[in-house]
Amino acid sequence: MKILNFGSINIDYVYRVTHFVRPGETLAADERSVFPGGKGLNQSVSLGRCCGTERDIFHAGCIGRADADFIDALLRENRVSGMFVETCESVTGHTIIQVDENGQNCILLYSGANGAQSEAHIARVFRRFGAGDYLVLQNEISCVAYILEQAHAAGMKIFFNPSPYTADIRKLPLEYVDCFLLNEIEAGDLCGTHAADESVLLAKTAAAFPRAEIVLTLGKRGVVCKTDSAVYRYGTYDVPVVDTTAAGDTFTGYFIGCRALGMDAPAALKYASAASSLAVSQRGAVPSIPRMHRVRDFADSAAVPSFN
């Protein structure tokens, strides 16, 4: 079984600030750092650090020529193949990220090469995958509908993280998705119900997509997962919050990676939650994603968190 992540690749420009810039305000940053990032790349690194020694993982996408060697080396270092990453004349996608004193962030995204996917390239990629393989997909690249169609036609199991959420998402062939990984806002937008109670929100989302597994992240309150047979809940670990930038992508990569290793949903939630908690205690996106041996040590020794 192979894992294909068809996703974005960005360069993140991270500015540490006392507070987020307000309209009309000029604010001096305390520090600037440059990191590789993008939801797709973050999730590929998370997958690689989770299960790259035991599963074949591939990243597909588009980048600017100037960053090709750097990104290829980064993927290989994390046991991910970049053979399906195509270079183009557009600049690599990038973000401007503000991180405040509490570790919270706000992000300005420019798609760049992430918006340059072609159907010809996508079709070539999917010739190398088949029934039982995994597709991991987000919404930071172009041609998402075509990618879903190709993966479904190939018989792949589709994991979709509908982020960033746009109105066009509801026009996609979402009936092909086997597992949605989303936060409360995305779930509310997807099913048209912004309920305060996560049980109601989960039920509405599950009713809208009855054949799909639903993984609903709830921030500090934890995570809830509905499979075809049960609902599972898992809390968050008490760690110092330094930077939340890649927390969701770390969780997503680890949850999918653990399932690819044959773990059931409760075990995958445990290790994905632990990995996400470790990620927020470090700066940056890719640099903050922990490796599996550290996640296992932390999850197996820390107190089991309560679901809030």
What are the extents of the domains in the chain? Answer: 2-6+39-86+116-301
CA distance 303 to 182: 26
Question: Which two three-digit tokens encode residue 299?
Answer: 């999850």
> Which single residue is written with the structure tokens 């070539």?
124
Bigger pLDDT: 239 or 285?
239
Is the pLDDT score of 243 beyond 90? no
Average of pLDDT values for 263-269?
96
Note the pLDDT of residue 248: 94
Q: Tell me if 288 is assigned to a ligand binding site.
A: yes
Is 75 known to sit in a ligand binding site? no
Whether this model's pTM surpasses 0.85: yes
Helix segments in 17-117, DSSP class H? 39-51, 68-77
Q: What is the CATH number of domain 2-6+39-86+116-301?
A: 3.40.1190.20
The total number of residues shown for the chain amounts to: 308
* Location of structure tokens 């079709």: 123
* Segment 157-180, tens digit of pLDDT: 999 999 999 999 999 999 999 999
pLDDT tops 90 at residue 246: no
pLDDT of residue 306: 63
d(CA 246, CA 20): 18
Residue with tokens 């940053």: 29
pLDDT band at 229 (very low <50, low <70, confident <90, very high): confident
Amino acid in the structure at residue 6 = F
8-state DSSP, 23: T
**31 SS3 class:** strand
**In terms of pLDDT, which residue wins out, 177 or 195?**
177
Which residues are tagged catalytic? 249
Q: For residues 86 and 73, what is the distance between their CA atoms, to the nearest angstrom? A: 14
Strands of the 157-160 sheet, one edge to the other: 81-88, 56-64, 2-6, 134-137, 157-160, 179-183, 213-217, 223-226, 231-234
Q: Which residue has the tokens 């995305």?
A: 186
Check whether 103 has a pLDDT greater than 80: yes
43 marked ligand binding residue: no
Q: Which of 64, 71, 62, 6 is nearest to 37 (CA)?
A: 71
Task: Tell which residue, 290, 289, 287, has the closest CA to residue 14.
Answer: 287
Asked whether residue 206 carries a pLDDT value surpassing 90, the answer given is: yes
- Residue 26, annotated ligand binder? no
User: pLDDT confidence of 245, banded at 50, 70, 90?
Assistant: confident
pLDDT tens digit sequence for 53-77: 999 999 999 999 999 999 999 999 9
For residue 225, give Cα distances in angstroms to 112, 265, 270, 290, 306.
34, 8, 12, 23, 15
- If you average pLDDT over residues 200-229, what whole number do you get? 93
The model's pLDDT over 123-168, given as tens digits with 9 standing for 90+, comes to 999 999 999 999 999 999 999 999 999 999 999 999 999 999 999 9
Which backbone phi and psi does 106 adopt, to 5 degrees?
-135, 145
Q: Exposed, middle or buried by CB within 10 Å (0-12, 13-18, 19+), for 68?
A: middle
Q: Residues 194, 212, 1, 122: what is their CA dihedral angle, to the nearest 10 degrees? A: -70
